[in-house]
Chains A and B, each alone.
Chain A
Amino acid sequence: MATPNEVQAKLLAGIPQSDVQVEDLTGQQNHYSVQVKSSAFSGKSLIEQHQMIYAALGEAMKEEIHALSIQTSLP
């Protein structure tokens, strides 16, 4: 399991100058909704933006997180 704080810390570390909101959808720490706002998304396609999120979460995406809903935006 990954706690909401761990998810948030990984995203803040992996995506520069980001504003990150994490919601645990089930209370079981494996289904999350994240909202990430960052200037680093500028000029990137949605697919690239979501790939940046997945890359920031790294290994946690393979085992600990079963479902992730993502919303990205520019500041």
Chain B
Amino acid sequence: MLQTNEIKLDKPATPFNAKEQIQKMITDNELVIFMKGNALLPQCGFSAQVVEIFKRLNADFQTFDILSDDIIRSEVKTFSNWPTLPQVYHRQKFLGGCDIVTEMYQNGELDKLFA
């Protein structure tokens, strides 16, 4: 069965706890993709591309749908000083957006990380 591996918040984030919520998601999970939609139904081409790459690598990832929470959507851009989505975090470190992940996939750097 296909798994969506989607992180859901018990309650919507607030401006006061959004940063903490993001920190918790990337601490509790080794590989997190903040994206539009989920792994089964990505809502944007860039998000779909990033999911596809990690599926091909057989990486164990979790996703968070930023369309489900406007506050997280806005806060995650400040969190990483990165204005676009999707965003990928690995072991609490910001790995990059679609272009960087694609480049790292093509040049073999991701293979090393997820071998």
Contacts and interface: CB of A to CB of B under 8 A. Distances in A.
B84 interface: yes
A54 B103 CA distance: 18
Contacts of B104: 46
A70 B81 CA distance: 16
Interface residues of A, number: 12
Interface in B68-110: 81-84, 94, 96-100, 103-104
Contacts, number: 28
A71 B46 CA distance: 15
Give the interface size bracket for B toward A: 10 to 19
17 contacts: A46-B96, A46-B103, A46-B104, A47-B94, A50-B82, A50-B96, A50-B97, A50-B100, A51-B82, A54-B83, A61-B84, A67-B46, A67-B84, A68-B84, A69-B99, A70-B99, A71-B99
Interface of B: 46, 81-84, 94, 96-100, 103-104
